[in-house]
A and B are shown apart, each in its own frame.
Chain A
Amino acid sequence: MSDELKDLPLVKAPDAIWARIEAELDRPSQSPRRFLPGFAWACAFAAMLIIGLYVLYRPKAEWDVVRADGSKGKIAVGDWLETGAASKAVLTVGDIGTVEVHPNTRVRLEAAKPGEQRLKLARGDISATVTAPPRLFIVDTPASTAFDLGCAYTMHADEDGNGLLRVTLGWVSLEWAGRESLVPAGASCRTHAKVGPGTPYFDDASQALQDALKQFDFENGGEPALEMALSESRVRDTLTLWHLLSRVAPVDRQRVFQRMVQLVPLPQSVSADKALQLDPETLKLWREELAWKW
């Protein structure tokens, strides 16, 4: 067989054959072309279906509202809710708690998502009860942002942006422009439109102490107000003094420190020098020790 092949004459192929072969090689394959459009359409349809189902059944960014007359509704993110002189409403904060909106109050829902439930209190009074990890429920007022670290509190804000926070369970952190007040259960804290959160105090503190703090925080009370606050402080009022330590002028810091250790001896784990230098970790450690006396 191989000998016979050797005997065959060699003939040159016509040029047209090579041209046709090259043309075939250059042409894209036909079969994937036919398959891909169908597959792509199926993918697109599935994606549209998934998106449609998500839009239909996604968790709504809104809270339930029950008004005092029993009528029910919803408040969506961006919506305002306003109560009249004789009306109030209860908002259900996802599955973590409730907010009671008292008469003559105006609130707006700012966020309603798993990691952040946020309300704006423009004016009026609310009572919040929340059972959730810290810093998940937030209330903005004109002069502060209240981060829930605990359970229950009431908050008031007036037309001018001044207000009052009163905590009944747990902790609340009031923050504004780099200023922070930590308010535990049984304590209150005023807020001022131009200053932010004031110095917190226990509700059973003397009226003289409460007045002195108001003067010190918002009325340029200065030395006389500070002196009154120091002299009126009890063991429990180390909450107030702990906040004052970092708010007084450096020249007064030693006096506040001395009053604090006079009321409650400095724990061995707390360095006096670092406390006077306002070392954040030291102050936190000291506050956690003092809290056992609050």
Chain B
Amino acid sequence: MVKLFAILTILPVAALAADFSLTIGPPVAVGTDTKVVKKVAALFAVRLEQCADLSKAQVTASTMIAGNAQSGSVVMIEPAGKPGIYLASQNFDGRGNAVVTVTATCGGQEAGAIVPVVPAGYLRDSVQTFSRAPTRADAQAALAKLQGR
């Protein structure tokens, strides 16, 4: 009985949390008529899905670079001029492989993505999305997989 009650209580919350998600796409997805400052080093675009109040949404990114102690905020995430759409651009030299961890919040909900990046750009087929904030372990596993390609 207690289990049933717990399930009935948790399920709707879980379902609600699953609604908020991220879509990762190429930089050109920000559109042709958006007067954003153009990013020569633009990596990918991020779109917040199912976020009821975009004014309270927050998006952050951190980077883990293969074979390099440098990590942290070497990828910038900035609004792309349209509601809920952001553009990620890189500050690192772009010569090595890296994984970018994107974390977003919308109200009390969280979503995330891990985006593998190689010198030629981001790997769309290897992008992972989460209905939670990705952990450091998620990023390390993605980087290891990227190095083993």
What residue in chain A is nearest B34 (Cβ atoms)? A134
- Flag whether A225 is at the interface (Cβ < 8 A): no
B: interface residue count bin:
10 to 19
Chain-A contact segment, one of B19-27, B65-73, B108-116: B19-27
Partner of A171, one of B23, B32, B40: B32
What residue in chain A is nearest B41 (Cβ atoms)? A169
Task: Evaluate whether A292 and B29 lie within 8 angstroms (CB atoms) in the complex, with A133-B35, A134-B35 already known.
Answer: yes
What residue in chain A is nearest B45 (Cβ atoms)? A292
- Flag whether B3 is at the interface (Cβ < 8 A): no
Q: How far apart sit A292 and B27, CA to CA, in the bound complex (Å)?
A: 9
Q: Is the CB of B40 within 8 A of A151?
A: yes
Q: Which of A165-194 contact B (CB under 8 A)?
A: 169-171, 173, 182, 184-186
Q: How far apart sit A294 and B25, CA to CA, in the bound complex (Å)?
A: 7
Q: Is the CB of B26 within 8 A of A184?
A: yes
Q: Is the CB of B31 within 8 A of A291?
A: yes
Q: Is the CB of B42 within 8 A of A292?
A: no
- Flag whether A196 is at the interface (Cβ < 8 A): no
Q: Is the CB of B27 within 8 A of A185?
A: yes
Chain A residues within 8 Å of chain B by Cβ, number: 23
Q: B134: shortest Cβ distance to chain A, in Å?
A: 20
Q: A287: shortest Cβ distance to chain B, in Å?
A: 9
Binding site for A on B (CB under 8 A): 23, 25-29, 31-33, 35, 37-40, 42, 45, 47
Q: Is the CB of A185 within 8 A of B38?
A: no
Binding site for B on A (CB under 8 A): 129-134, 149-152, 169-171, 173, 182, 184-186, 288, 291-294
A-B pairs with lowest CB-CB distance, top 4: A292-B25, A184-B28, A291-B29, A292-B29
Q: How far apart sit A294 and B122, CA to CA, in the bound complex (Å)?
A: 12
Partner of A292, one of B23, B32, B37, B38: B23
Partner of B33, one of A129, A132, A134, A185: A134
Task: Evaluate whether A131 and B28 lie within 8 angstroms (CB atoms) in the complex, with A292-B23, A292-B47 already known.
Answer: no
Chain B positions within 8 Å of A169 at CB level: 27, 38, 40, 42
Chain A positions within 8 Å of B40 at CB level: 129, 131, 151-152, 169
